[in-house]
Chain A
Amino acid sequence: MAEFSKPIKSLRHYQVLHFLSRFFLYGILAIGAIIAIIPFIWMTQTAFKTYGEHSTRKFWPAALTLAPYVGRPAPREIVVEMKPADDWRNVPRSYSQALSGVIQVDEVSRFVAGELERKDFPLPFEVNLLAVDLTDDDTANYDSFRVTVNTKVIGQFVTRLDGQQLGGPNYEGADRGRWGPHYQVIDPDPNHFVVRESWDTWHIFFNNFIYAWKDANFARYMSNSTFITILTIVGVVVNSTLAAYAFARMKFPGRDLLFTIYLATYMIPAAVTLIPNYLIIVGLEEFFQTTFGLKNFWYDNWTALTVPFMINAFSVFLLRQFFAQIPDDLFDAALIDGAGHLRFLAQVVVPLSRAPIMTVIIFNGIWAWNQLQWPLIVTSSERWRPVTVGLISFISDAAAETHLIMAGSVITMVPILALYFFTQKTFTEGIATTGLKG
């Protein structure tokens, strides 16, 4: 009996050990994964915060709770009257029930006042209003909004700074614009207009993203980046497929020398070629201006951002390695069928090489989308600046408003992350093959 009990004990012992080692391994994997993901969670969480929430180190953004979305009053319509107090120049007043109290339109710029005095001022017309809540003398609430007479309210910016706390920083107050009602002018009239007060759920949730998108002109940058990336990828794939095919399957004098030159360019450091490449672009720009009369054909245009990157030794090398493995029989068969090199390449080689071509696309896509230094020096206007440069200038503009910077980062990342999730398997496998064999 004793002889039997021992193996059973050791089996259990083994099971426990096995369980412990598994637990340990999964533990390490989980720690690694958490570290890899935490910045993304932090980014998303911060992107939903308000300025106040971030400044006061609040952990969970209110926009990601149910509270702002339930129990809001139904939309209502309010008549806002803009009456001149003594004269329009200083204090045009209007009393209304727009916010829970009497609103006094307290401050209109001299220019606006002058314009309002005219009977025939053109519409639409934009007004900045600073409204003061006069119901409670102790808390003189301010509310400023920007209205466009005859079209609609663009938005409300600072809302309800509590008068008591005006001395110190009052982050909560500044954020109320996000949660508060939004106003829409429905019956425009210079002296009196009807405003609809409502709560825009979409706006409450996506506030920072909407703001960042509009403020940094992300639409422009995103389309620029997409165009530049796609064009670069097309160029690289066409050029390097042709070159790789010639190196792998064709015989011509000077092939080995040329291939060595190709490989050697891989070693040329970008730091050295940056300055001459900039001067080359400037030179091409001057040349095209003087000879063809084309202004900005190179500088500050998509050409400078894509053409120099339409070939690289890495892609040629990767494709050549693959093309060289395709059996000769296939080519002989194609030759007998009367196909030339180009047809063989297009109809046999390319369909067979989907995996390495995908790798080339992915790598060059990442590189093109990530470009920062080069676009910084060869562009001067927003017209062709990619999203990386856009994000940089947005970071400078937004400065302390981290929640907006994070929203901008999310916007920048989303397309490439979406691409990654859809092509995940090809992606990682493609990258794995490049690190092979030293």
Chain B
Amino acid sequence: MKPATDTSDTLENLSELSRSRRKRRIREAIESYLFLLPGTLLLLVFNVFPLGYAFYISLYQWRIRKGKFIGFENYLRALGDPKDVLFVLAGLGLLAGAWMLWRKVSAETSTRELLLRFGAIVMLITGGLALVLGFPKMLENGDSEIFKSLLITFYYSLGTVPMQIVFSFLLANILFRNIRGKSTWRMLYFLPYVTVTVASAAVWQSIFDPTKGLLNLGLLNLGVSEPDLPRWLFEAKGVNLVLAEMLGITLPDWMGGPSLSLVSVIIYSIWVYVGYNTVIYLSGLGNIPVALYEAAEIDGASRWDILRKITIPLVSPTTYFLVMMGVLGTFRAFNQIYVMTRLAGPVGSPQGTTMTASMLIWKHFWEGNRFGYASAVAFILTAVMLGISWIQNRASEGKVFYG
């Protein structure tokens, strides 16, 4: 009889235990919700809700106060005819689809392969056609400022991100060797990132000053005559035109590229972020197992081989992270452009050549008080940004090596 009582005892104990466990679980759930309450509330009010609210705003004619409901008119005003927009979207979708199909093909059998390849080509052609048909019209009917600002943002990221990556990779690789005073170097490189953006942008603005700035003083000492000095932040002309002029060549206007003013801002951005990227690269390099290098050295690999076949592939996650952050950052960049181009005139000066995505939104929102339209523009530019990061994501697939 003893075992029986024992079991019933245990059972009772068990049920007691499970009851108390359930109680504890409920208590823990309540406690955890309390832990999460302040953060989640703030996140909902100032991050999640605004996303929907912004869309709501973009459907109205909203100038400081809410006006009348106009549906997608703000978007149409920005992008032009809905038919063209549809054409462009379909074209882009088809191109992306063709590309994905083409990549999949190698896994299939030969007859299907042929068919799929054919399908991909058809998609490519129709997609390209749709783009060719829709895009010029969209440019014509839409808000040309948006497309211009996209181009400027594109120039801006193309100017900053690759340079930042190359310089910081170089510096990090050198610092990673047996270098004396490693932490001092690191501290010096990191200095630009820590300083207040507004202040350092003001400093660079004075460095770029056409008459008294450091850069032009240097050029004067190098023998450039006073009237030939570049006007940096005040120059709306394309950088290629300016360079060509210095060499005495005349170029057509469309070859101008980003304005010298934008290039000045790009130089500043490179200066700020190289140190930050270097520090992150250093930690990425630190994660590569030393054994790999040793093995390669024993096998007689040259420095160049080691760099190409070990270092670069193994830091690719860091590179990917930095490129992503860099591109997102150029869409977000406000402070430096705002401060540096203020003296040249209104937002986006000179002549709108520094009107990046965030500056355009700022112009419509704060200078023009067009809340509805600004929201629509923000959504469009964000969609483009998401598209670009998606492409980046796809393109880096298989090239980024995660241990």
Contact = CB atoms under 8 A, between A and B. Distances in A.
A166 interface: no
A129 B277 CA distance: 57
A37 B317 CA distance: 30
Contacts of B339: 372, 392, 395
A32 B198 contact: no
Interface of B: 25, 28-29, 31-33, 35-36, 38-40, 42-43, 45-51, 53-54, 57, 167, 170-171, 174-175, 177, 179, 183, 185-192, 194-200, 202-204, 206-207, 209, 212, 214, 217, 271, 274-276, 279-280, 282-284, 287, 317-318, 320-322, 328, 331-332, 334-335, 338-339, 342, 357-358, 361-362, 365-366, 371, 374-375, 378-379, 381-382, 385, 400, 402
Interface in A313-342: 313, 316, 340-342
A67 interface: no
A14 interface: no
Contacts of B282: 432
Interface string A351-395: 000000000000000100110110011000000000110011001
Nearest to A431: B279
A57 B217 contact: yes
- Chain B interface mostly helix, strand, loop or mixed? helix
Contact of B271 (A39, A240, A245): A39
- Interface core residue of B197, B202, B322 (most chain A CB under 10 Å): B202
5 contacts: A243-B35, A252-B32, A273-B46, A279-B371, A424-B183
B270 to A, nearest CB: 10
Contacts of A410: 199
B39 A242 contact: yes
Contact of A269 (B174, B191, B317, B332): B332
A313 B198 CA distance: 25
Nearest to B200: A39
Interface stretch (A40-48, A82-90, A109-117): A40-48
Interface residues on A, range: 35 or more
A433 interface: yes
Nearest to B33: A252
Nearest to B217: A57
- Chain A interface mostly helix, strand, loop or mixed? helix
Given A258-B40, A269-B382, A417-B194, A402 B209 contact: yes
B195 A243 contact: no
B32 A250 contact: yes
Given A242-B35, A251-B29, A372-B198, A276 B331 contact: no
Contact of A373 (B35, B51, B320, B334): B334
B333 to A, nearest CB: 11
A25 B177 contact: yes
A438 B195 contact: no
Contacts of B190: 427-428, 431
A274 B361 CA distance: 10
Interface in A403-438: 405-406, 408-410, 412-413, 416-417, 420, 424-425, 427-428, 431-438
Interface stretch (A153-161, A191-199, A260-268): A260-268
Contact of A28 (B39, B174, B284, B402): B174
Nearest to B336: A372
B32 A268 contact: no
A57 B212 contact: yes
Given A239-B38, A271-B332, A431-B280, 19 more contacts: A29-B179, A32-B167, A36-B191, A36-B275, A40-B203, A46-B206, A242-B39, A272-B51, A273-B51, A276-B375, A280-B46, A311-B43, A388-B197, A405-B202, A412-B199, A431-B279, A432-B280, A432-B282, A435-B280
Given A29-B171, A279-B53, A413-B195, A438 B28 contact: no
B198 A438 contact: no
B280 A416 contact: no
B271 A36 contact: yes
